[in-house]
Structure 1
Amino acid sequence: MWFSKTKDDIFNELKVDPLTGLSSQEAQNRLEKFGMNKLKGKPKKSLFSLLLSQLKDMLIYVLLGAAVITIFINEYVDAIIILMVVLLNAVIGVVQESKAEKAVEALQQMTTPRSLVRRDGEVKEINSEEVVPGDIVILDAGRYVPADLRLIESANLQIEESALTGESVPADKNSLKLFNDPKTPIGDAANMAFMSTLATYGRGEGVVVATAMDTEIGKIAKILDEDTDEMTPLQKRLDELGRILGFIAIGICVLIFIVALIQKRDLFEMFLTAISLAVAAIPEGLAAIVAIVLALGVTRMSKINAIVKKLPAVETLGSVNIICSDKTGTLTQNRMTVVKQYTYHKLTNIPSADSLLSADGDEADLIKSLVLCSDATYENGQGTGDPTEVALIVLGERFQLTKAALGARHKRISEFPFDSDRKLMSTLNEEAAGYRVHTKGAIDNLLKISTTALVNGQKVPLTEELKADYLKKTEEMSDAALRVLGVAFKDTDTVLAPDAMEKDLTIIGLVGMIDPPRLEVKASIMEAKLAGITPIMITGDHKNTAVAIAKELGIADSIEQSLTGAEIDEIPEDVFSSKINEYRVFARVSPEHKVKIVRAFKSHGNIVSMTGDGVNDAPSLKYADIGVAMGITGTDVAKGASDMILTDDNFTTIVNAIEEGRNIYNNIKKAVIFLLSCNLGEVVTILTSILFFWPVPLLPTQILWINLITDSLPAIALGVDPGDKDVMKKNPRSPKESFFAKGAGLRAIIGGLLIGILTLAAFYFGLAEHGYHLNSAQIPEEVMTYSRTMSFVVLAASQLMYSLTMRNPSKSIFQVGIFSNLYLVGAIIVGFILQLGVISIPFLANAFKVHNLSLRDWGIVLVFALIPLAVNEIIKIFMRMAEKKEDQ
């Protein structure tokens, strides 16, 4: 481990002189040996391979088989319709998937284009892709780190590593430190700088120890490159359904041929009938309808600030029962904020609102020193510099002690910059009668160099009692996960040298700051818990800080519910997985730990969502069932690896998206059960007529028309049904739950049987109207046409009306509201118009072998069509009565 080796050991190992750097020739040799310093990704899938991947589905196979058979029997129109459905589904999938795999590309774009290196004894600016192991790299504020470096020099160097470690405060770097523990976390390796992080303060030099895929960020890229795509619950359900329907279709065909042989029917006629039954058994429009419903759901979710990149992720989010959330920027505001200030015997809580405050006496002196002893700026709501110092300037703004005004009155004469050993910073500023030293930093260090304290505007000796008081308040703030800074000053008549500033100071007080939780997150977490969802915090921050935030938000109750990355490493993987449900907070974790945590939760059958914004979140975003990236603060890497992006970085949006996802799944389920009920009705109609040696009431073209046209519009309308207001009062759906759970299968069977029986009844009515019955030997063509028209229209009308009762499994159509889904009302009206057009427009009537009906016939059709609706509504009454008894 490079952080445990001395500088001389590293120079010897990498064969480089730090004063001259590598020679140009040696750099070229190493470039040829190690390759370019850029991240690599797996080859992109071609458009053709993406298209083929969309066709790997049992339901698609069955549809393609049906298309081949229909071409074979010269039913070209049917074949074209089926193929169009398959193609539409594939195109929608390709468009979504082609946007999804961009994580490694984003990682590549994060590498800085130019770097300062020492070669041939000179400092040169080169393309960062040409940096090689052994190069001496020069860093200064504002420059990205081009590769992993072992620092050899550091002067007040601070590096922003939040994207890699999750910490909101830049890390202090010290080239002199050594770390002998091989498990030292990335965030604690103060003598290292990592690729794609940003130097924010000071300067430094480092020797390149790893480039490209060997860097820490390169390891993340490797994880992202692994092929770990899994089927979502929706894909699994549809695949399972497709297999079932495929086997049913095959079984029906075999059954028909057996019946045909027994009944000695014409085999070719039975072959055609078998095709019609296979068509009846399979809802040809199902794949396309589900894709359309998901696409419409994606559009709806974009309006609530959630952009979904993969269609099935909409439904997956609805079944999530574990949300693993990054802390910084997701649960918190990603900005340090002063929340407490203390002068002797006076503790003040700073309100979170942005209202202006006032200060006088010791408090005014405290804030004045903090503002003047800062290099940060803050203008028009935007700060630059170290987040801690920005927080101090913002504090001054709140108390109307702005840096601009104070700086104009008290010009800075000299300074003693922050040093990680002293842990102090001092400035010398003009005063009316001389000069004043303002010092801030670690309170224990300040107490060592102070002799007096400011109490009620008077300087008093710094007694042991006073020291104990300040240390006690510091401890209390630290226990509350606050970062504490002490403040002191000294008046002088002369300009002091920097090393003379920090002597005989006067302690003013303390301030405590924290990266505060987002205001709306606590309520969102409560709502998530009520919905049966467990929120988990995963962060690179320190354990005490993480637990304090988790307690405040209601994620955890005690520190016993937390683990650090180092503690995770000590636990065997099987034990860790078995105890994973005991923990709510994971602190000081690496990217590998995050993946391990997600896997542990998934091993218990949970559907896991991971939210995050940094590069360090990308692997776990990809391994989770659904990864949710932040759109504002999120890196391109996180966005590329995620399934969904929140455009407002608001945790509340996640909860809203989960509600939307649940409703979308319920809507898809309604559409699927509706289609299966309709298709079962068609199967019952045809199979019954064959088994009893009756004439077949429906032709294959008529079934296709109903399946692809008449059924599809109500199915899509059900797919965009307004959400159930009570959906978040229920636990998440089990990922193993079938489409047919909770009585859905029984409803589909009852509906299908009713539709099938009524279609047969309409066919029988048509024959009886002309004096024939089902077992008549010779039935004239015109009588058959009339009877088939009646069964054809009754089948379509009963399915259209039945869609109204499918909107809710237990609430009546009046409780739901007949006109609360105008799309469905419109679909039913359009369906009737299309059906009227088919039987009344001559060329369509001839194509479908039907003819027009009289008003009397239409009246009979409507009576028949309302029966399945009425029966299902009666069943719902008994269901509601049963639910009331259970509640009592």
Structure 2
Amino acid sequence: MTTHLKPEPAEAPPIDASEPVSRLLRDLRTTPSGLTAREAARRLQVSGPNALPSHGGHRWPLALLRQLIHPLALLLWVAGGLAWVAGTTNLAIAIAAVILLNGLLAFVQEQQAEKAVEALGKYLPDRAPVLRDGQVWHVPATELVPGDVLVLEEGNRIPADARLIDGTVDVDASMLTGESVPVTRTADARDDAARPLDSPVLVFSGTVCVAGAAHAVVHATGRHTEIGRIASLSSRVGREESPLERQVRRVAWLIALVAVVVGVGFLPLGWLAGLSWPAAFVFAIGLLVANVPEGLLPTITLALAAGVRSMAKAGALVKRLSAVETLGSTTVICTDKTGTLTRNEMSVEEVHSFGDALVEALVRCSTADVTGSSGDPTELALLRYAGSTGADLSARKALYPFDPRLKRMSTVDLVGDALWVSTKGAPEQVLPRCTMPVGERTRLLALVDEMAGRALRVLAVAGRRVPALPGSREETETDLDLLGLVGLVDPPRPEVAAAVADCHSAGIRVHVVTGDNGRTAAEIARRVGIGADRVISGEELAELPEPALDEALTANGEIVFSRAAPEDKLRIADALRDCGEVVAMTGDGVNDAPALRRADIGVAMGIGGTDVAKEAATVVLTDDNFATIVAGVREGRRVFDNVRKFVLYIFAHAVPEVLPFLLFAVSGGMIPLPLTVLQILAIDLGTETLPALALGREPAEPGLMSRRPRRRSEGVVTGRMLLRAWGIMGLVSGVLVLGAFFAVLYAAGWHPGADVTSGALHAAYLQATTASFAAIVFCQVGTAFAARTERVSLRSAGLTTNRLLLGGIAFELVFAAALIYLPPLQALFGTAALPGWVVAMLLPMPVIVWGLDEVFRWATRHSA
């Protein structure tokens, strides 16, 4: 039996699309009248569909599994297994529930669909007009093949990479090049461009024909196109852990190591203290649980989620939770120009008028329509300046459209009972056709150079009255009177300058990475306050060795990278990261997608940005406002500070939870356990959770945006934090907890070694462990207030400025009271009602814990 296998699409042979048309047609085995339908169908089998490569579905089960096997989760699984083996089924079930709850919460918050490559497909039109069998056919764009001849007209989105074989078109290629001004492509131009995107004879898939008409022969389809190459770059660029993710992972491994060492090390001590092996297992589990802050990861997740909501209100949609913190640690922003620093809309900025008829000439010499927003962007800007929707076409007697080679256009219109010629175009083409003294022309050309040096696109406008309709274009465009010079620019957004100033005050450098030309980009950069100390073109960058690039990027100053290709943006992002910088890359075009994925934080424009950029980025600005990035930096720094605050708060409780077990082990069982495992779980998951979450919403401390960005290597946990958590608040809390425990036991007549498992001392023992539990809760109140600030006093932060914290403290006190005084919960957690004198002993504990830390912060402020 013979099996026929469908052959895989073959690799497209290398084609030099810039070679002469006759040779290109020969190499593609086609003609100016296109392919036959039969040949096109055959080639489709060989080359494959004109579509971008797609990838498999999302592997969400693996993502969920990762949330259940991180270091702290593995450690808790071990503790739960030991609890099950030891016969404490309720404890094992409680631990498993904690793991599953934490994992599901993190999974839901982190789940993100990777759709960058799929979004690229939206830039390909559904159908395209082509010549086949000598006639115009509208075929599905996916069925285009090399050798097809496209029919390009105004408004068409170009469906494949092609070479013009006749005609002239203006193309909006900003989604690939970053240039805000449409580029002209003409079939008979000389191709001496350094890169394909700048070729005057090539057009590319996904760009838009905004004016003109032409025929073009397809030389690349699908993944072989420029947009396909970018799709391949995007799919190959993977995401890396954020600084916070790395630090949390390290902290998790550190905690796991400490918990394992302590638990395993004290397991034989429990047995030596007289416990049975099952009881010793429970003792070891208690140490494990006491050393593992079960609420740490969900608290971080929820704090980041709160930061995401705050940033959404400010105009930034964050697609990955850790991106909030990453934005806060940013040291360098690499920003696009068009649509990011600027409005992506041409406008008239400067006018030199030499006649009263300038505005009228601008209106008449146009083919655009402001009302319908159709036409060339430059003409639309001129009409907006003139305050008109366009000329009266019924009065137009002749139109000489814009010619890329002549660089000018003209109209002849009937104004009243007279005929008027109106001409506009490049000054070097229009001025020689105007009647004026040589000295005046020299002065005007100098003025044009000066305006161009300020990144203005300069147009000369001229006109004259004629007695009769001229017979030719040459006759029409002679002996003109100069009416004025108009300077246009894609202006900066008004709020960007203040945002850049905020970046500088926060110690963040801003580089411009754009596909536009260097002079324009540098001028825009200077206008918004970016240094632009050096301009490096794409060609220069390609020849720049890695050490030289690193030296340029690490030098004090800011750089404008012009004519940057997608690979250039990737290289810049990699170089900055290798130099230890945390990089935020902004952009809005398809060409930005690979770099947006590679940077530490990719920031896309939500309104003017392409779907490709939005899918590739981790942050999308819904208002396209560069200033929102600065708001994001501020929010990110606040969130990271608050993460440290509740980590400090959680760590401080490890000491009073571990000390009772150590005391039991060191005493050889002479001192009973001052705290039970279930009481520890009630603390870690019940009483401390809401205050910890409230600390995640703490307002920013003064001077937040005047600090230098923290180093990439700087961790969440610092030596100062551990000193405060363990050496001050933790140690003081541990002493107070043990003091409450022993006070209750001694009041009942207990002495070391006495049996507390039965009789009158058993009731006292239950009250003593309950006093330990309550003392930890009261110390938590003091810890919460102390953790609200890093250095400043609580008075300067305001006692009641965090209402959520006050509510969280109220909840933990009510929750603790329920565990202590409600009989069903007493039976479950081994608690007993406390007498009034014990409650009175607990009341000053919050003030003691907070007060000693306040003294420490006062001392460090004054020593600094």
2:460 corresponds to which residue?
Answer: 486
The correspondence for 1:874, drawn from 850, 855, 858, is 855
Distance, in Å, in 1 between the alignment partners of 2:111 and 2:828 is: 40
1:553 corresponds to which residue?
Answer: 528
Distance, in Å, in 1 between the alignment partners of 2:831 and 2:192 is: 87
The correspondence for 2:427, drawn from 443, 449, 474, is 443
2:11 corresponds to which residue?
Answer: none
1:4 corresponds to which residue?
Answer: 18
Work out whether residues 80 and 91 of structure 2, in 8 Å CA contact, stay in contact via their aligned partners in 1.
Answer: yes
1:308 corresponds to which residue?
Answer: 318
Residue 618 of structure 1 deviates from its aligned partner by: 0.8
The correspondence for 2:184, drawn from 169, 172, 180, is 172
Q: Does 1:84 align with 2:97?
A: yes
1:387 corresponds to which residue?
Answer: 377
Distance, in Å, in 1 between the alignment partners of 2:551 and 2:222 is: 37
Q: Does 1:534 align with 2:509?
A: yes
Q: Compute the TM-score of the two structures, normalised by the length of structure 2.
A: 0.95
Distance, in Å, in 2 between the alignment partners of 1:718 and 1:681 is: 21
2:195 corresponds to which residue?
Answer: 184
Residue 580 of structure 1 deviates from its aligned partner by: 2.1
The correspondence for 2:360, drawn from 340, 357, 368, is 368
Residue 791 of structure 1 deviates from its aligned partner by: 0.7
Distance, in Å, in 2 between the alignment partners of 1:68 and 1:134 is: 67
The correspondence for 2:299, drawn from 286, 289, 292, is 289
Distance, in Å, in 2 between the alignment partners of 1:691 and 1:497 is: 111
The correspondence for 1:122, drawn from 115, 135, 146, is 135
Q: Does 1:570 align with 2:543?
A: yes
- Structure 1 residues 541-571: Cα deviation after superposition (integer angstroms, max 9, x where no partner): 111001111111111254xx11010110111
Letter of the 1:563 partner, please give it: I
2:416 corresponds to which residue?
Answer: 432
Work out whether residues 652 and 783 of structure 2, in 8 Å CA contact, stay in contact via their aligned partners in 1.
Answer: no
Work out whether residues 308 and 643 of structure 1, in 8 Å CA contact, stay in contact via their aligned partners in 2.
Answer: yes
2:750 corresponds to which residue?
Answer: 772
Distance, in Å, in 2 between the alignment partners of 1:639 and 1:480 is: 32
SS at match of 1:5: coil
Root-mean-square deviation (CA, aligned residues, Å) is: 1.8
SS at match of 1:4: coil
- Structure 1 residues 848-885: Cα deviation after superposition (integer angstroms, max 9, x where no partner): 111111222211111234321121111121122123xx
Work out whether residues 415 and 427 of structure 1, in 8 Å CA contact, stay in contact via their aligned partners in 2.
Answer: yes
1:455 corresponds to which residue?
Answer: none
Work out whether residues 321 and 732 of structure 1, in 8 Å CA contact, stay in contact via their aligned partners in 2.
Answer: yes
The correspondence for 2:151, drawn from 114, 135, 138, is 138
Q: Does 1:739 align with 2:716?
A: yes
Work out whether residues 674 and 748 of structure 1, in 8 Å CA contact, stay in contact via their aligned partners in 2.
Answer: yes
- Structure 1 residues 600-642: Cα deviation after superposition (integer angstroms, max 9, x where no partner): 1111111000111111111110000010111100111000000
Q: Does 1:342 align with 2:340?
A: no
Residue 269 of structure 1 deviates from its aligned partner by: 2.2
1:855 corresponds to which residue?
Answer: 836
SS at match of 1:384: coil
Where in structure 1 are there 5+ consecutive unaligned residues?
A: 345-361, 453-461, 884-888
Work out whether residues 173 and 183 of structure 2, in 8 Å CA contact, stay in contact via their aligned partners in 1.
Answer: yes
Distance, in Å, in 1 between the alignment partners of 2:110 and 2:653 is: 32
Work out whether residues 244 and 716 of structure 2, in 8 Å CA contact, stay in contact via their aligned partners in 1.
Answer: no
1:225 corresponds to which residue?
Answer: 235
Farther-moved stretch of structure 1 (817-826 vs 569-578):
569-578
1:591 to 1:631, Cα distance in 2 relative to 1, 3 A: same
Residue 757 of structure 1 deviates from its aligned partner by: 1.8
Superposed, 1:200-599 pairs within 5 Å as: 200-260=210-270, 263=273, 265-343=275-353, 362=355, 364-379=356-371, 383-397=373-387, 402-403=388-389, 407=392, 411-450=395-434, 452=435, 462-499=436-473, 500-558=475-533, 561-582=534-555, 583-599=558-574
SS at match of 2:746: helix
Distance, in Å, in 2 between the alignment partners of 1:125 and 1:678 is: 72
1:790 to 1:797, Cα distance in 2 relative to 1, 3 A: same
Work out whether residues 565 and 587 of structure 1, in 8 Å CA contact, stay in contact via their aligned partners in 2.
Answer: yes
The correspondence for 1:832, drawn from 813, 816, 827, is 813
Residue 740 of structure 1 deviates from its aligned partner by: 2.3
SS at match of 1:202: strand
1:439 to 1:572, Cα distance in 2 relative to 1, 3 A: same
Work out whether residues 18 and 201 of structure 2, in 8 Å CA contact, stay in contact via their aligned partners in 1.
Answer: no
Work out whether residues 615 and 637 of structure 1, in 8 Å CA contact, stay in contact via their aligned partners in 2.
Answer: yes
Distance, in Å, in 1 between the alignment partners of 2:114 and 2:233 is: 13
Work out whether residues 3 and 189 of structure 1, in 8 Å CA contact, stay in contact via their aligned partners in 2.
Answer: no
1:17 to 1:680, Cα distance in 2 relative to 1, 3 A: same
Letter of the 2:156 partner, please give it: R
Work out whether residues 222 and 228 of structure 2, in 8 Å CA contact, stay in contact via their aligned partners in 1.
Answer: yes
Superposed, 1:645-656 pairs within 5 Å as: 645-656=620-631
Work out whether residues 372 and 403 of structure 1, in 8 Å CA contact, stay in contact via their aligned partners in 2.
Answer: no
Distance, in Å, in 2 between the alignment partners of 1:108 and 1:75 is: 57
Superposed, 1:816-827 pairs within 5 Å as: 816-827=797-808
Distance, in Å, in 2 between the alignment partners of 1:852 and 1:56 is: 39
Letter of the 1:661 partner, please give it: G
1:97 to 1:179, Cα distance in 2 relative to 1, 3 A: farther
Residue 318 of structure 1 deviates from its aligned partner by: 0.5
Residue 486 of structure 1 deviates from its aligned partner by: 0.6
1:717 to 1:734, Cα distance in 2 relative to 1, 3 A: same
Distance, in Å, in 2 between the alignment partners of 1:90 and 1:261 is: 34
- Structure 1 residues 264-317: Cα deviation after superposition (integer angstroms, max 9, x where no partner): 654332221110010000001111111111111111111111110011111111
Work out whether residues 18 and 163 of structure 2, in 8 Å CA contact, stay in contact via their aligned partners in 1.
Answer: no
Letter of the 1:388 partner, please give it: T
Q: Does 1:640 align with 2:653?
A: no
Distance, in Å, in 1 between the alignment partners of 2:854 and 2:754 is: 37
Work out whether residues 96 and 309 of structure 1, in 8 Å CA contact, stay in contact via their aligned partners in 2.
Answer: no
Q: Compute the TM-score of the two structures, normalised by the length of structure 1.
A: 0.92
Work out whether residues 428 and 435 of structure 1, in 8 Å CA contact, stay in contact via their aligned partners in 2.
Answer: yes
Superposed, 1:625-774 pairs within 5 Å as: 625-693=600-668, 694-741=671-718, 743-749=720-726, 750-774=728-752
1:108 to 1:67, Cα distance in 2 relative to 1, 3 A: farther
Letter of the 1:754 partner, please give it: V
Distance, in Å, in 2 between the alignment partners of 1:742 and 1:613 is: 42
1:757 to 1:185, Cα distance in 2 relative to 1, 3 A: farther
1:684 to 1:498, Cα distance in 2 relative to 1, 3 A: farther
Where in structure 2 are there 5+ consecutive unaligned residues?
A: 1-14
1:527 to 1:882, Cα distance in 2 relative to 1, 3 A: same
1:528 to 1:674, Cα distance in 2 relative to 1, 3 A: same
Work out whether residues 86 and 288 of structure 1, in 8 Å CA contact, stay in contact via their aligned partners in 2.
Answer: no
SS at match of 1:723: coil
Distance, in Å, in 2 between the alignment partners of 1:96 and 1:261 is: 43
SS at match of 1:567: helix
Farther-moved stretch of structure 1 (287-296 vs 84-93):
84-93
Work out whether residues 538 and 586 of structure 1, in 8 Å CA contact, stay in contact via their aligned partners in 2.
Answer: yes
Identity %: 36
1:359 corresponds to which residue?
Answer: none
SS at match of 1:378: coil
Letter of the 1:298 partner, please give it: V
Distance, in Å, in 1 between the alignment partners of 2:215 and 2:110 is: 43
- Structure 1 residues 568-609: Cα deviation after superposition (integer angstroms, max 9, x where no partner): 011123432332234511111111111111111111111000
Residue 720 of structure 1 deviates from its aligned partner by: 1.2
2:773 corresponds to which residue?
Answer: 792
Work out whether residues 547 and 585 of structure 1, in 8 Å CA contact, stay in contact via their aligned partners in 2.
Answer: yes
Work out whether residues 3 and 178 of structure 1, in 8 Å CA contact, stay in contact via their aligned partners in 2.
Answer: no
Distance, in Å, in 2 between the alignment partners of 1:234 and 1:341 is: 52
Distance, in Å, in 1 between the alignment partners of 2:196 and 2:520 is: 17
SS at match of 2:357: helix
The correspondence for 1:864, drawn from 842, 845, 851, is 845
- Structure 1 residues 96-148: Cα deviation after superposition (integer angstroms, max 9, x where no partner): 44434111111112210000011111110000000011111111011110011
Residue 53 of structure 1 deviates from its aligned partner by: 3.2
